[in-house]
Each structure stands twice: as C-alpha cells, then as structure tokens.
C-alpha cells in the first residue's frame, strides 16, 4: 500500500466488525444461520409464509442489538472521519446501529436497519426499537398488519445502491472490515473499486471468498487490527503535511 494521500475512502463493514461487541455473525460456528433457517427468517417467501415467526426473530435480535456497545473498530472509524482530510463513507451490511452509536457519519445501510419497519401498504418507515408484529398499525396510513421489518431479505433489492455505485467509482481507498465476501452484490464492491483504481485492504479473521481483489489482508479481531491501521493513515497525512 502506498503512502498515497487518499481523497475518497469507502469502508464496507459486515457482521465481523460487531463480533467484539457481542453480536453473532452469520456464518461462524455459532452463527445466526446455524441456528435459524435463512429461508424462514431472511427471505420474502418465509415472511409471506409465517410473518409472526419473522417478526419474533427480529424483535429478539433487536433486544440483543439494543444492549450492544460499539467497539474499538467502530470508534476508530469515527477517529478517521474526524481527522483524515478526505470524504469517508461507511457502507454497512449490518442492520445494527453500532456505527451510529460510535459517532460514525455518512453511513449507508444497504441491508436495512433493525430499528426500522416498513409499511407494505404506504411505504412509511417506522423507527422503533419496540416490538413490531402482525398486529402493528402503520402510524401513517392506519392500516394494521402490513408492517415488515425494514431488513433486505434474500430476493429483495438492496437499499442506497445509486449512492453506493457513485462512491465505489470515486473511491481511491476501499477498506473491508468483517465480511466473508460471499453475499452479492456487496461481495463484488471491492472488484468495482479495484477496477476504478482504488487501493484495497481487508480486515477479517481468515482469508475471504473474494480475497483475490485485495492488495492487503490483515487477519485478526478488527478491534485490535483496525485502530493501528487508522494511526498509520493519520501519521502518513501528518508526515506529508510536515514534508510539504
């Protein structure tokens, strides 16, 4: 990785960045998808088949997430955003609110947010950490029983993709933290960034499915590995200032 002074940095995060905050990832040994069938709780067919089961799953997950605190990796993103002179965006696959709790800015939740529900009748977004279920009435159109967790299910379009495409084309540094790189289209974001000339680096526990597109791989818990990298970026800018 060069001592390049970056202008547009994109940080893609996955469940791994929240692991040290006590939240389960999806595909590890005791991951969420080992204890729940994806097709039952994360597909549009599953929601149509049994909406009460899906609401229960996300209401339980919401309680877990509400208790979680951001860790050193989330806080290091805030430090980078506050001290490195570049546009720095966070594209997250996570539905938790730890980036917000850590004070990150420019956050794009492409898979939705646990503290939101969407009305399938009028499109209203209800922000709540309270339970949502098949009895919930939409506060905008007053129709009951049409609320769905604002989570992007397999088979649905991602959110914020127009902005994401623009960010990926413009970025000169693409950082991936805590994602296995197996779920598309997020898994191909690094390929787009690389194609448009970005330096690319990933922080995970072990080699990922799309590691071919990363210039650098830093293995280990992101709470330990990412803050020193932020210091490396900040000192490179500081040294550059002194040299200029």
111 is catalytic: yes
Q: Which of residues 167-226 bind ligand APR (CB under 6 A)?
A: 178-180, 182-183, 203-206, 208, 221-222
Residues 61 and 68 sit within 8 Å (Cβ to Cβ): no
Q: Which of residues 130-169 bind ligand APR (CB under 6 A)?
A: none
How many amino acids of this chain bind ligand APR (CB under 6 A)? 24
Minimum Å distance from CB 91 to ligand APR? Answer: 11
If the CB atoms of residues 55 and 109 are measured against ligand APR, the closer one turns out to be 109
Minimum Å distance from CB 231 to ligand APR? Answer: 18
If the CB atoms of residues 5 and 27 are measured against ligand APR, the closer one turns out to be 27
Minimum Å distance from CB 102 to ligand APR? Answer: 15
Q: How far apart are the first and last CA of the chain?
A: 21
Residues 6+ apart with CB under 8 A from 244: none
Q: Which of residues 52-81 bind ligand APR (CB under 6 A)?
A: none
| Selected range binding ligand APR among 8-16, 49-57, 128-136, 230-238, rule: CB under 6 A | 8-16
Task: Report the residue closest to ligand APR, judged by CB.
Answer: 16
- Over the window 10 to 39, marking each residue x when it contacts ligand APR by CB under 6 A and - when it does not, the resulting string is ----xxx--xx----xxxx--x--------
Three-class HEC string of the chain: CCCCCCCEEEEEECCHHHHCCCCCCCCCCCCHHHHCCHHHHCEHHHHHHCHHHHHHHHHHHHHHHHHCCCCHHHHHHHHHHHHCCCEEEEEECCCCCHHHHCCCCCEEECCEEEEEEEECCCCCEEECCCCCCCCCECCCCCCECCEEEEECCECCCCCCHHHHHHHHHHCCEEEEECCCCCCCCHHHHHHHHHHCCCEEEEEECCCCCCHHHCCEEEECCHHHHHHHHHHHHHHHHHHHHHHC
If the CB atoms of residues 111 and 148 are measured against ligand APR, the closer one turns out to be 111
Token pair 């997950």 is found at 61
If the CB atoms of residues 145 and 155 are measured against ligand APR, the closer one turns out to be 155
Q: Angle 97-98-102 (CA atoms, 0-180°, nearest 5)?
A: 125
Minimum Å distance from CB 43 to ligand APR? Answer: 11
Q: Which of residues 90-129 bind ligand APR (CB under 6 A)?
A: 93, 111
Minimum Å distance from CB 173 to ligand APR? Answer: 18
Bridge partner residues of 116 (DSSP): 127
- The one catalytic residue in 74, 111, 217, 238 is 111
Residue numbers of the site for ligand APR (CB under 6 A)? 14-16, 19-20, 25-28, 31, 93, 111, 178-180, 182-183, 203-206, 208, 221-222
Please list the active-site residues.
Answer: 111
């Amino acid at each position: 990785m060069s001592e390049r002074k970056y202008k547009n940095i994109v940080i893609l995060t996955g469940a791994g960045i929240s692991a040290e905050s006590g939240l389960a990832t999806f595909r590890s040994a005791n991951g969420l998808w080992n204890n729940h069938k994806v097709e039952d709780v994360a597909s549009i067919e599953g929601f149509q088949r049994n909406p009460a089961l899906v609401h229960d799953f996300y209401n339980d997950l919401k309680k877990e997430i509400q208790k979680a605190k951001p860790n050193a990796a989330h806080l290091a993103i805030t430090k980078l955003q506050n001290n490195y002179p570049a546009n720095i965006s966070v594209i997250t696959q996570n539905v938790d609110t730890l980036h917000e709790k850590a004070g990150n800015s420019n956050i794009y939740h492409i898979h939705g947010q646990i503290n939101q529900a969407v009305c399938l009748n009028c499109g209203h977004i209800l922000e709540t950490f309270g339970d949502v279920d098949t009895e919930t009435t939409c506060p905008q159109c007053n129709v009951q029983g049409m609320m769905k967790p604002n989570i992007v299910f397999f088979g649905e379009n991602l959110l914020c993709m127009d902005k994401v495409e623009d960010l990926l084309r413009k970025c000169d540094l693409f950082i991936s933290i805590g994602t296995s790189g197996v779920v598309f289209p997020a898994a191909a974001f690094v390929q787009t960034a690389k194609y448009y000339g970005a330096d690319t680096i990933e922080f995970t526990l072990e080699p990922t499915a799309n590691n071919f597109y990363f210039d650098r791989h830093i293995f280990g818990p992101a709470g330990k590995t990412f803050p020193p990298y932020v210091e490396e970026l900040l000192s490179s800018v500081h040294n550059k200032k002194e040299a200029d």
